[in-house]
Amino acid sequence: MQTTELLVIGAGPYGLAVAAHAKDAGLSVAVVGELMAFWKHNMPGGLLLRSGLDWHLDASGVHSLQAFLEHRRIPRTAAEPLPVEIFLDYAEWFRQSKTVSVQSLRVNRLCRVNGQFEACCDNGETLRARHVVAAPGLAPFANLPDELSAVVPPDRMAHTATLVDFRALAGKRCLILGGRQSAFEWAALMIEQGVESIDLVYRHDTPRFAIADWSFTDAMIDSTLGVRGWFRRLDPSEQQAIHRRFWSVGRLQLEPWLWPRVNRRNVRLWPNAQVTALRATPLGSIETRLDRGDSIFVDQILFATGYRVDLSRVTYLVEDVQSGKLRVDDGFPVLDEDFQTTVPGLYIVGQPSIPYFGPFFGFVRGCIASARIVVASLQSLHPLNSCP
């Protein structure tokens, strides 16, 4: 049985950032999962990220994304906008630079035994740790509207989280439900890879296409680090104002480099429209009826309907969620000012922390602040130079 001071479950940006900072602080750390699994398997090749070059993983500020670009002599022009492939290379360079080891293990069950955690893995191995940081990422939380997905044959529909290889769709007609960044970027990539036509149906106005300026997040991160529990202590009206600003930049506008790629005759936009009915036709196509009276006939439906946090979908946490030990509120974990859950010693970072820390913690931008807060909490509880 392996023993460690800190077990990090998940090796995406948040898991790597926490593990590296904890290791720098003197903890013994074990990281389990697949390195950048969601980014490797749930994002299509050629995807361009919206994040800035100042969004990185190193709480010490040494092994930043810009340092990586300089090290690899990658010109800024090749990194703006940032290809997902470059960010994946950066994550591996960061891992190596920080000498963080990632074990390819899947945790099936997490429980407390004699005041410590035991993580039971898919290969039969058990890891014991005093503290656990869970970084489940987005993969468990893909949102599929039940009223629509229930009537579409499983082989004729997908979520953007699972459809990342478009070769089988060459020559086919596709419907994308959703009108935000992922919907338009998947549409661009699919058309460029041979899809015959795409219809995008969404319930709002078409977003504007403009360069996103995320610099306003800097002051929010500084406040989060400078004032314990900063976001949760704001007046609800101030919290809503922050959410509206994120919505405006992140949802009501899209990157300008997308528009020329989707402004084509075989890409049709259906703003302010909703699907009222779906049915399979005798000829094998799917008829989609809209509330405005139109019918669209397609071969495949793609749900660009985002993600909805529901902690009961995380396999190794479901037992504590169901028992009530791990308290949740509308699917999100109840967290204290240090990202700690109602299970002492268990921390959760990333998207599930948004209600208590703010919408910027659903982005890579929140990695460094999360790492600093969690590790500072651990340092205040126990000496960090010994295993349990």
Note whether residue 225 is domain-resident: no
Q: Do residues 292 and 150 both lie within one domain?
A: yes
Q: Quote the pLDDT of residue 371.
A: 98
Residue type at position 214: W
Note whether residue 243 is domain-resident: no
Q: Quote the pLDDT of residue 237.
A: 97
Last residue of a domain, one of 286, 303, 320: 303
Q: Do residues 77 and 154 both lie within one domain?
A: no
**DSSP code at position 104:** -
Cα–Cα distance between 243 and 354 in angstroms, integer?
10
Last residue of a domain, one of 303, 319, 343: 303
Q: Do residues 23 and 88 both lie within one domain?
A: yes
Q: Do residues 153 and 135 both lie within one domain?
A: no
Last residue of a domain, one of 303, 336, 365: 303
Note whether residue 250 is domain-resident: no
Note whether residue 122 is domain-resident: yes
Note whether residue 172 is domain-resident: yes
Q: Do residues 84 and 71 both lie within one domain?
A: yes
Q: Do residues 164 and 289 both lie within one domain?
A: yes
Q: Do residues 275 and 291 both lie within one domain?
A: yes
Q: Quote the pLDDT of residue 152.
A: 85
Note whether residue 357 is domain-resident: yes
Q: Do residues 121 and 205 both lie within one domain?
A: no
This prediction has a pTM of 0.94
Query: Which domain covers residue 23, as residue numbers?
Result: 2-140+307-381
CA distances in angstroms from 161 to 82, 232, 251, 310, listed in the order given:
19, 30, 18, 16
Number of structural domains in the chain: 2
Q: Quote the pLDDT of residue 383.
A: 53
Q: Do residues 65 and 195 both lie within one domain?
A: no
Segment-wise mean pLDDT, segments of 10 residues, the chain, 388 residues: 95 98 96 97 95 94 97 95 97 98 96 94 95 96 87 90 95 96 97 97 95 92 96 97 92 93 97 92 91 95 96 96 96 98 98 97 96 96 50
Q: Do residues 72 and 112 both lie within one domain?
A: yes
CATH number at residue 363: 3.50.50.60
Note whether residue 287 is domain-resident: yes
Q: Quote the pLDDT of residue 382.
A: 64
Please name the residues in contact with 99: beta carbons below 8 A apart, sequence gap of 6 or more. 23
Q: Do residues 123 and 204 both lie within one domain?
A: no
Q: Do residues 188 and 122 both lie within one domain?
A: no
CA distances in angstroms from 271 to 191, 249, 380, listed in the order given:
19, 19, 52
Note whether residue 377 is domain-resident: yes
Residue 354: which H helix or E strand, with range? Answer: helix 354-357
**Could you give the angle at which helices 84-97 and 13-24 cross, rounded to 10 degrees?**
20
